[in-house]
């Protein structure tokens, strides 16, 4: 229950992205694996979070298509 409670948003993101594009899901999975398994992975959490928020804001403002 702890894992679901703390990671539900990330699980939902992986499900939605995986339904849309397998390559993006693999990229996000690689970032999550690096964050969890590398010795300095905890330092990646905040920059990755801000980068994902910035990407979401850009997509919301200008749309997903060029």
* 28-61: pLDDT as tens digits: 888 888 888 888 878 888 888 888 889 888 888 8
Spatial CA neighbour of 29 closest among 57, 1, 48, 47: 48
| 3-32 confidence digits (pLDDT tens) | 666 667 777 777 777 777 778 778 888 888
Q: Which are the contacts of 16, defined by CB distance < 8 A and separation ≥ 6?
A: none
Chain-centroid distance, C-alpha 35: 11
CA 36, chain centre distance (Å) = 13
- State the pTM of this model: 0.58
């Amino acid at each position: 229950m702890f894992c679901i409670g703390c990671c539900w948003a990330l699980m939902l993101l992986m499900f939605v992205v995986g339904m849309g594009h397998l390559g993006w899901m693999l990229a996000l999975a690689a970032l999550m694996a690096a964050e969890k398994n590398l010795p300095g992975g905890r330092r990646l959490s905040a920059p990755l979070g801000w980068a994902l928020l910035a990407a979401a804001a850009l997509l919301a403002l200008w749309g997903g298509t060029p």
